[in-house]
Amino acid sequence: MCRNWGGGPLFAVECESDVNFEGAEHISTFSSSEWAERGFCQKCGTHLFYRLKQERHYAIPVGLFDGGDQWRFTEQIFIDQKPSFYSFSEKTKDLTGEEVFAQYSGK
């Protein structure tokens, strides 16, 4: 779904439930699955977050933050569904979709 949403992989910072947005009245959400929803700006359409409904866990695109040189690429999820046309050189923790769901369901 992330590739369909943004045209490529979602490079995101993981945030806990204490996320606050200025101008929250301009944010709309789309229920993209039974477990997650996506937020975007009603005025310009910018992708703002991917949020797990039960955990209130947010993935926020790194492009929304200043100081991009501080980020480290440490984890890839749904690696079993990645397209064959890209491969990253960084050594990361790689999780399949099944492993991701197990991580959040506590199994």
- This prediction has a pTM of 0.76
- Domains of the chain, each with CATH number or no CATH: 1-68 (2.170.150.70), 72-107 (no CATH)
**Can you give the pLDDT at residue 27?**
96
For the stretch 11-44, pLDDT in tens is 888 887 678 888 999 999 999 888 889 999 999 9
Residue 13's DSSP bridge partners are 60
